[in-house]
Amino acid sequence: MMGERTVMQAALFYEFDLERHVPTHHLIRSIDRFVDLSGIRDHLRPFYSDMGRPSIDPELMIRMLLVGYCFGIRSERRLCEEVHLNLAYRWFCRLGLDGDVPDHSTFSKNRHGRFRDSDLLRELFEMTVQRCIDEGLVGGDGFAADASLIKVDANKQRSAAAADEVDWQGLAATRRSVQEYLDVLDDTAWGAASETKPKFVSKSDPAAQWTGAMKGLAFFAYATNYLIDLKHAVIVDVEATRAIRQAEVGAVRTMIDRVDERFGLYPERPAADTAYGSAEMLGWLVYEKGIEPHIPVFDKSQREDGTFSRADFVYDHENDLYRCPGGKALRSSQRTRGPTIDEDGVIRYRASKMDCSACELKPRCCPNTPIRKVPRSIYEGARDMARDIAGTDAYVTSRRERKKVEMLFAHLKRILRLDRLRLRGPNGARDEFLLAATAQNLRKLAKVLPIRHPQPA
């Protein structure tokens, strides 16, 4: 017998408990245990007026943003729709069944105003780091650092060549991202990171770097820099920079100093790839910070033409000279003067012309020059230390564990869907990277410390 749809009759009273309708195994329940926003109002109080109409609750907006970044909801307009319809999201945001969801434009007004002025998103991220420390997820002895490129919302067709004249001051009057670009021209993580001019500059987001580092089509991008603890791959700091190596290396120094200042974390061994193995970086780690660098040395001295490389010359520490394969000495300067150090921090050791002219090994040493020169960095001691560490078992372990930071970047782009930025300018990139790192730490807490359900008798 064919059934018929019964006409729904509205009941006079409903008894509905939102708590019972959120599954106990839902990720949002596990995350909610670690979200404590009790101090957010005190943090924002100086940025609100004592008069006028009450504003949208800032805790509600932060909770909604956490939902969006934890579950890969990139659009704020769609986020408002999802929170309106999803019971679990309503429960997390403390809205109840009849609570009103704010308009999507509210997020933009607060993000460009109070949230940035108060550095609220940095405060929110550091709250999750402190919670991870309190829960014992941070060891503090081994760190790993790396950077990943994130595409920006910019089109090459609306860009300018490096040689073109652009009225940036005029554009800054109508575009916030251009004004932010002008504000960071002297910052070491942005405009001052390198004197090399990019091939193209975006007029909509000029701080973004035109890069072809992905070995494919070039694009405009920012770099998100992670410093993670190797025990459970907790992100202890995050920094937004230009997508160039100099800015990324400088970001690691900034993050190591900041986690030491904020949390008292001082790593014994940082792990990173060859891009961070420059002489200056290794010297900073060894001489200034007293940290053992588990980083491969950035070295381009190896020759491929059959002539002797720098490694074939033996350095004599006691006499401050190099010995060539023929046993002759290469000295840095005359005895009456000190060594000459160039602007790159390099001392050049030169052989005697008399020794080189009479040497039978000259065709294999310096066939095209009268004498052989060997450069030596003022940080060569730190480079030698890094080379010695590279032969230990601890270095092999660090090299294997360093892949955890690359896994976090894969999770960032594939699960949280942050493969392209929605916000423009350095501040927009910083906001998105902080919120994404906060979401990853919360998901890490929920995974490592799941809810314990009572077992039936």
- For residue 457, what pLDDT is reported? 54
Predicted confidence (pLDDT) per residue in 276-302, tens digit: 999 999 999 999 999 999 999 988 888
- Residues 108 and 146 occupy one common structural domain: no
Q: What is d(CA 238, CA 252) in angstroms, rounded to the nearest whole number?
A: 9
- Residues 341 and 420 occupy one common structural domain: no
- What lies within 8 Å, CB to CB, of 373 at 6+ separation is 330, 348, 349, 350, 351
Predicted confidence (pLDDT) per residue in 185-194, tens digit: 888 889 888 8
- Residues 171 and 250 occupy one common structural domain: yes
> Highest mean pLDDT range out of 319-323, 329-333, 394-398?
394-398
- Residues 166 and 244 occupy one common structural domain: yes
Instruction: Please name every residue paired with 175 in a beta bridge, in sequence order, or none if there are none.
Output: none
Residue 9 binned pLDDT confidence (cut-offs 50, 70, 90): low
Whether residue 386 contacts residue 380, with contact meaning beta carbons closer than 8 Å, is answered with: no
- For residue 248, what pLDDT is reported? 94
- Residue 1: is its pLDDT beyond 60? no
- Residues 146 and 245 occupy one common structural domain: yes
Per-residue burial over 328-364, b if 16 or more Cβ lie within 10 Å, else e, is bebebeeeeeeeeeeeeeebebebeeebbeebebbee
Picking from 361, 376, 391, the residue at the C-terminal end of a domain is: 376
* Other C-beta atoms lying within 10 Å of the C-beta of residue 453: 8
Strand, coil or helix: 142: strand
- Residue 336: is its pLDDT beyond 60? no
Strand, coil or helix: 239: strand
* Other C-beta atoms lying within 10 Å of the C-beta of residue 258: 17
- Residues 237 and 143 occupy one common structural domain: yes
Q: Residue 128 domain-assigned?
A: no
Q: Residue 43 domain-assigned?
A: yes
Domain count, the chain: 3
- Residues 163 and 111 occupy one common structural domain: no
CA separation (Å) from 238 to 26, 39, 79, 304, 415? 28, 22, 24, 39, 18
pTM for this model (two decimals): 0.90
Please calculate the CA angle 175-244-219 and round it to the nearest 5 degrees. 60
Q: Residue 435 domain-assigned?
A: no
- Residues 260 and 165 occupy one common structural domain: yes
Predicted confidence (pLDDT) per residue in 376-414, tens digit: 989 989 999 999 999 999 999 999 999 999 999 999 999
DSSP H helical segments within 34-175, as ranges? 40-44, 58-70, 76-85, 87-92, 105-110, 116-117, 120-134, 168-172
Residue 338: give the domain boundaries. 310-376
Q: DSSP characters for 307-357?
A: SPPGGGSEEETTTTEEE-TTS-EEESS-TTSPPPB-TTSEEEEEE-HHHHH
How is residue 260 written in tokens? 């030491």
pLDDT cut 90: percent of the chain above it: 57
Give the lowest-confidence range in 98-112, 331-345, 408-422, 433-447. 331-345
Predicted confidence (pLDDT) per residue in 307-316, tens digit: 898 888 999 8
- Tell me whether residue 177 is exposed, middle or buried, using C-beta atoms within 10 angstroms of its C-beta: 0 to 12, 13 to 18, 19 or more: buried
Q: What is d(CA 113, CA 402) in angstroms, rounded to the nearest whole number?
A: 37
- Residues 143 and 262 occupy one common structural domain: yes
**Short-list 35, 79, 37, CA closest to 58:** 37
- Residues 104 and 169 occupy one common structural domain: no
Strands (E), 134-255: 142-151, 159-161, 200-202, 209-211, 219-229, 234-242
Q: Residue 4 domain-assigned?
A: no
Q: Residue 421 domain-assigned?
A: yes
CA separation (Å) from 276 to 138, 227, 295, 359? 23, 13, 7, 39
- Residues 262 and 407 occupy one common structural domain: yes
Q: Residue 302 domain-assigned?
A: no
Q: What is d(CA 246, CA 189) in angstroms, rounded to the nearest whole number?
A: 8
- Residues 70 and 181 occupy one common structural domain: no
Contacts made by residues 271-274, CB under 8 angstroms, sequence distance 24+: 271/142, 271/143, 271/144, 271/145, 271/230, 271/295, 271/398, 271/399, 271/401, 271/402, 272/144, 272/145, 272/146, 272/402, 273/146, 273/402, 274/298
